[in-house]
Amino acid sequence: MATVEQMTAAVHGYVEAFEKGDADLAVALFAQDAIVEDPVGTPLKRGHDEIRAFYAASMATGAKLKLEGPIRCATDYAAFAFRVQLTLEGKLITVDVIDTFRFNNEGKVIEMRAFFGPSNMTGM
Amino acid sequence: MATVEQMTAAVHGYVEAFEKGDADLAVALFAQDAIVEDPVGTPLKRGHDEIRAFYAASMATGAKLKLEGPIRCATDYAAFAFRVQLTLEGKLITVDVIDTFRFNNEGKVIEMRAFFGPSNMTGM
């Protein structure tokens, strides 16, 4: 089972990957066969190649993440709230998001889900 | 599909049920065959009877919920961060939690999951 320390480090590593705009740093947090559902209800990204392409596109918007409140750790899950700021077609957009990460025993993320929708976006 | 307005009203109704200490108010938010996993990793509560017993016990601690940040709505899910204050054996305890609610087409909760663990509790 991943520890609270491993899960906390992964979440901070995720924020840092966006800060640096480095998709490989984000991908390194995930298991080879990980699944990403971002946002919830959209097609899954499966495995490192699809996940890298997804984060490279996300980071191309200049998206930066700011955690809000403590990371919640429940057995093999971490859940965390944050605010994203990014730029699309010259407009600064803010998105309020809650992510859940599920971890394997090696401390890698095997499932990521991002909860947000149009009601959580401002500046569009 | 449940609307953002229905999901938002359900979350506020959930907070209000704790405020009033009324387990039936909480149960009324759930579909008959709903599943509650609180916290994630513990045995599921299934259906209105088990869910009512669970909330009656929770509310007996005087638990009150304070939302933190906006409710995130993604298709048929709402995710929300909050802080709980409750009293156990004479001690005031604070717990930081993130819940996800999944809704059916009638706007009732069919699945609830609560993300928190020992690292999210203070005052124990």
Does a cis peptide bond (omega within 30 degrees of 0) precede residue A39? yes
**Chain B nearest-CA residue for A115:** B74
ipTM passes above 0.85 = yes
- CA-CA distances (angstroms) from residue B43 to A42, A113, A121, B15? 29, 22, 35, 23
* pLDDT single digits (tens) A75-119: 999 999 999 999 988 999 999 999 999 999 999 999 999 999 999
Number of domains in chain A: 1
Stretch B47-73: mean pLDDT = 98
Q: Do A68 and B70 lie within an 8 Å CB cutoff?
A: no
Rounded distance between C-alpha atoms, residue A24 and residue A70, angstroms: 25
The CATH number that applies at residue B11 is 3.10.450.50
* pLDDT single digits (tens) A3-23: 999 999 999 999 999 999 999
Q: Do B75 and A40 lie within an 8 Å CB cutoff?
A: yes
Full residue range of the structural domain in which residue A98 is found? 4-122
Neighboring chain A residues of B37 at a CB cutoff of 8 Å: none
